[in-house]
Structure formats: structure tokens, C-alpha cells
Amino acid sequence: MEGKRHFLWGAAMAALVVGLVAGVSWAVYPDRPITMIANYTPGGSADLSARALAKYAEKQLGQPVAVVNKPGAAGSLGVGAIAAAKPDGYTIGLTTYGPLTMAPHMYDLPYNPLTDFEYIMGYGKYMYGPCVRGDSPLKTLKDLVDFAKANPGKIKYSHPGLATPNNFGMIYLARATGVKWEGITFKGAPEAVAACLGGHVDIVSQNPLDVVPYIKAGRLRLLASFCDTRWEWVPEVLTARELGYNFDVVSWLALGAPKGTPKPIMEKLRAIFKAAMSNAEFLEVMKNMYIPVVYRTGDEYKKFVEEGYKQNEKMVLELGLHKSQKAK
């Protein structure tokens, strides 16, 4: 009996020591640089928003927050790198909506968006829409649809990946109107926009950052907003729903960490990055990038992911893009 008491006492002390050591490590976190993975190409809206957040956060954390770009597979490569990282708070990154709710149904990926992440927060809502060149004879969405109906397969559009809202918006529109056109995948948004400006494709389906400057300069023309609201920078252009098409496309900018990252570290990251959203410099950057700032807690964003995952699986199956259908 005495031996058993000694064993239990020893086990309790060991647990206490482990807890104290862990508590100390959490208390001093971070004691070295943090890596923030951006899952799209440098210079795009996701990349620039991540850098703006990192700049503020590193001042509060007292350690560098290095943004490392890992583009590819419609954002899935970078998200996969986050999931595979050690859950110690020293690797975080962009867990954007498409790679979590669309891509998993289309590709065999090394992560599960429902189980492999701790979400820090959602911080911006993406908008999308189809643009033509400023000198295009297609002045309205009706012009585009009419031309596409009269010329099946002739229209080509650029986008940054099959598993992106950019592409899904064009697919939704094609299904709603019965037209056929061809999507061309590019590595990132800058390349997709350049393809349209250069006349290699007829349309680019993109978000405001990458096209509004060209719209203001008269080099591109927005035909509709694929979102549930109009673009505030081109308020006269209607949404797809306002034009009679029963769909809209949403997406989010968000931050996450690997599953199992200690709760005290997650709480610290959540508090600091939420505060970063009120920073004047960050807000100015977001304004200049044409991204509405919208805060969602980690739990709220997780719910968005869970709901979007289910909704998009059904849509991907209907479109014939599901990975199980490709194998047949």
C-alpha cells in the first residue's frame, strides 16, 4: 500500500512539473520567430493582407512574423503546409475559404478542413465578378450571355484555379444561362488578369484588388457582382441576383494554426490578431486592396467552413468535378 502511495505521489508530481513547464513555455510564447504561410502568390490580396497583419502582430508579440508564400493547387498547397506543421504556435497561416470548402472535394489532399486546424479568426470578405477589356463590345452581362449562346465554346475566361470561387462563379452563370465557355487556369490572380488584358482570354473572373485599378483606368469593365452585394467601387453594376440569376459566391480571408496548438497560445494569437484589425495602418491597407474588413471569431469561422464544406460538396458533385467522379 505504501509503495502504491509513493507511486501515485510521484506520478502527481511529474504531472505537476510537466504542467508548470508547459505553463512557463506558454507564458513566454513566443521566444523565437513565427512563420506565417500565405497560400497564394506574392502581391495578391491574400498575401498583402497577411503581411499587413503580420507587421502589426510582430510588434505586439516581440518576435518577427515572417510571411512565407506557398502558392499552388488553388491555395491548397499552403493550407496543407499549415496542417502538417508542428502545433506549437510557431507556424500559422492563411486558411482561406476555397481550399477548405471546395478543393477537398475535388482533389486528394493531405488535410481535412474539419479536423486538422485551429482557426484564429476570419477577417475579410472576398468579392468576385467577371470583367472584360475596356474596348470589348460586350457592355453588359446580357451581352456576354447572348454572345456565348450564339457562339458556344468561343468565350474563354481566366481564373486562378478550378477550386476557387472565381471559377465557380463562372460555372454557376453558365449553368443558369445554358451557355458553354472554357475556363483557363493560371498560377495566380496577376497572371489571370494579364491574360485578359493581353487578349489571350475574353473574361477574367477576379476580386476587386486585382481589377478595380484597371476598371478605374478604363482598361477593364465589370459586368456583374457575383457576391450578395454590389462592389462599392463600381456601385452602378448590379449583382447576379439583381440581374435575375439565383446564385452568389462568397469567400473569406482567415488565419489558422495546426490542430493541437495549445489553447493558451491560440488565445494569445486570437487576441493579438483581433486587435490588429483595428490598427489604422492595417485598415488603410485593406481599404487600398478593396477588401471589406469583417471579423469572425475562430468558432464562427469554423462553422462557416463546416457549412460551406457540405454545401460545396453537393455543388461539386452536381458539376461533375468531384474527385470520385474523375476516377471513373
Q: Are strands 182-185 and 156-159 parallel, antiparallel or unpaired?
A: parallel
pLDDT at 12 over 80: no
Is 64:34 a contact under the CB 8 Å cutoff?
Answer: yes
Tell me the sheet residues that pair with 117.
Answer: 258
Q: What is the pLDDT of residues 192-222, one digit of tens each?
A: 999 999 999 999 999 898 899 999 999 999 9
- CA angle at 89 for the pair 83 and 92, rounded to the nearest 5°: 50
State the virtual CA torsion across 160, 165, 166, 172 in degrees, nearest 10.
Answer: 140
Arithmetic mean of pLDDT over the chain: 90
pLDDT at 8 over 80: no
Query: Given pLDDT bands bounded at 50, 70 and 90, which one contains residue 311?
Result: confident
**Residue 320: in which H helix or E strand, if any?**
none
> For residue 21, what pLDDT is reported?
45
Q: In percent, how much of the chain has pLDDT > 90?
A: 73
Q: What is the pLDDT of residues 144-199, one digit of tens each?
A: 999 999 999 999 999 988 878 899 899 999 999 999 999 999 988 899 999 999 99
Domain ranges in the chain? 34-126+250-326, 129-222
Query: Given pLDDT bands bounded at 50, 70 and 90, which one contains residue 74?
Result: confident
Is 137:221 a contact under the CB 8 Å cutoff?
Answer: no
Fold of 34-126+250-326: D-Maltodextrin-Binding Protein; domain 2 (3.40.190)
CATH class (in words) of the domain with range 129-222: alpha beta
Question: Whole-prediction pTM value?
Answer: 0.77
**Residue 120: in which H helix or E strand, if any?**
strand 117-126
One fold for both 34-126+250-326 and 129-222? yes
